[in-house]
Amino acid sequence: MGAGSSASAGPGQYSLDDLLTHLSAEGVLTAAKVIATGEDMRLPLPLDYLQDKGAFTADTPDAIIALDLDKFRDAVQSKLIERAAEQAEALEEKPADIYRYLTPLEARRGFPQALAALKANPKLARQPMPGSGRGSKWLPLHCVLLLGPKYPGWWWPLAEPLVKALCKAYPGACEQRVLEGSPHPCGQLPLELAVTKGWDARVVDVVQKTYPKAAETLDPVKVPGGILKKAFPPPGKGLPDQEFLNELGGPEVLSNDIKGATVAVLALSGWNKDKQPTTPKGMRWVRKAAEECRPLPKLEVVMLLPKPDPKNLENGWSDGREVQRLLEEKLHKKACKDAKNASKRAKKAEGFAKKALPFKPGKPVPVDALKAKHAIRESFEAAQIYDQLLADFTEAHQGFVVFEGWEEASKDFVEKRSAVLEKADLIAAAQELFEAVPEGADVGLAARKWVDAQEIRDEQEREKKTLDDIGTGGAPIIRSAPHEGSKL
């Protein structure tokens, strides 16, 4: 996990987050391995420093540790910010170009020089990227977000301090669109870049809070091509009609507030006040982009994003966490319905057990090995159905993060399963060859031991009968009278 390893690679190869979490869960992560991750980043991560930050507790570097990943990230970022501050103080003159520091090599180290340059000259957050192209000018924030954690060879949480610093130095960058044209006529806001390029919830939250309106912005999916060419001509085909762009509101934030939502480039797409959309049909927004993105963003990212009412924009937007709760509630109801249907099959097996050896509660259990064995087997069948039911019910709720209390719904099935096995134990206890089990043994163990003993006894009887049959050739012995001609 040193300088020659891929420990700091992004999700395109290995994620350091995932790797450290896996090693910690497996109980093989040592403090030394965590300290060694600083070699790629060229950040000193002493044992005492990481412990003081609460990343883990260890007496020696070779000790096995349980890593607190969030505190480890905070500790690494604090070191990164300290180093950037030192480099900023060492600068002899104010830097004039930040893009020279936004390179893959710098990304591996957390952009320390870019952080230092921005600290020395905050105006660099407004610096347009050199070159010309179709659409709006790029800013440093767009470049970093577009690079994204999917870029191989770096641990993307290292870029979090730079994203925060860029948003703080120039909040307007979060309002500026890029990539106008195809496939998205109105381009993409930085929030969409952060979501679709795989950044985690911490980074997405920073960008969203800087410009909250971005999450509730609706963009038209299609725009007349002639208007697009006029607004954003191809490179070498002349400059955009500045007067036309001014009428739209400028090339950076082309939007209008309507019915509680923000619709981008209303004039550009040929709309007017009398033809404003009433539903999100034919529109796109950040959450929709996230749900259509592959691979999908993490759930905690999607929950940050609101969703518009599908039928009427006047009904506003639903909080992302509430949307997730409603989805989980729907899945919970389906799981309960499936469990209820499965429990009917278990009840049917219980009915067969009752018919095999009927007796009333509180009355003596009949002693009948054959019937008892049949009843116990049907009870085991019912218990197996309950086991599978509970396993499916638990699996259906895996990944739930908002909806609570679903465990309570499974208690009824747990109790029914126990009741079935307790009845099986009661039947076995009344039969011959029953052997008591230790106190506190699992319910159903007594019945299982008795059935096993019966199986052994039946097998022995079958073997004895087989031996008897072999001794007579398999035919019965017939004693007949002697022949008349016999001397006997």
pLDDT tens figures, 261-288: 444 544 444 545 455 667 888 888 999 9
Q: What's the total number of domains in the chain?
A: 3
* Residue 14 DSSP symbol: -
Residue 358, domain member (yes or no):
yes
SS3 472: coil
Q: What single-letter DSSP state applies at residue 239? A: -
SS3 percent helix, strand, coil of the chain, rounded to 5, is: 55, 5, 40
| pLDDT, position 10 | 36
* Whether residue 380 is found in the same domain as residue 234: no
Asked whether residue 487 is domain-assigned, the answer is no
Say whether both 309 and 336 belong to one domain. Answer: no
* Residues 287 and 406 grouped into a single domain: no
Which of the given ranges, 216-220, 379-383, 434-438, 449-453, has the highest pLDDT on average?
Answer: 379-383
Q: Cα Rg for the chain, rounded, in angstroms?
A: 36
Select from 90, 117, 142 the last residue of a domain: 90
Q: 298, 392, 406: which is closest to 346 by C-alpha? A: 392
**Nearest-angstrom CA–CA distance, 79 and 444:** 58
318: tokens are 């639903």
Question: Which position has the higher pLDDT, 481 or 79?
Answer: 79
180-184, 202-206, 388-392, 443-447: least confidently modelled range: 180-184
Residue 254, number of CB atoms within 10 A of its CB: 23
If asked whether residues 418 and 347 sit together in one domain, one would say yes
- Among 173-177, 236-240, 266-270, 436-440, which stretch is predicted with the lowest mean pLDDT? 266-270
Question: Is 254 or 453 the better-scoring residue by pLDDT?
Answer: 453
Does one domain contain both 86 and 113? no
Residues 86 and 100 in one domain: no
- Specify whether 50 is located in the same domain as 159: no
Same-domain pairing of 308 and 363: no
Same-domain pairing of 338 and 229: no
The verdict on residue 36 lying in a domain is: yes
Query: In this structure, are 200 and 296 located in the same domain?
Result: yes
Q: Does residue 289 lie within any of the structural domains?
A: yes
Q: How confident is the model at residue 118 (pLDDT cuts 50, 70, 90)?
A: very high
How far is CA 358 from each of CA 233, 362, 363, 420, 431, rounded to the nearest angstrom?
A: 87, 12, 11, 14, 14
Residues 430, 302 share a domain: no
Residue 324 lies in a domain: no
Q: What is the domain range of residue 346?
A: 330-471
Is the pLDDT at 291 greater than 50, yes or no?
Answer: yes
Q: Determine which helix (DSSP H) or strand (DSSP E) holds 369, and give its type and residue range.
A: helix 369-396
Q: Which of 263, 285, 318 is the last residue of a domain?
A: 318
Q: Is residue 17 one of the residues assigned to a domain?
A: yes
Q: Please state, for a pLDDT cut of 70, what percent of the chain lies above it.
A: 78
Residues 6+ apart with CB under 8 A from 89: none
Whether residue 306 is predicted with pLDDT greater than 90 in this model: the reply is yes
Whether the pLDDT of residue 44 is over 50: the answer is: yes
Q: Tokens representing 59? A: 């007496």
Residue 483 lies in a domain: no
Average pLDDT of the chain, as a whole number: 80
The reply to whether 78 and 108 lie within a common domain is: no
The domain boundary, picked from 90, 123, 140, lies at: 90
Q: Which residue has the higher pLDDT, 424 or 242?
A: 424
pLDDT at 395: 93
Whether the Cβ atoms of residue 218 and residue 280 lie closer than 8 Å to each other? yes
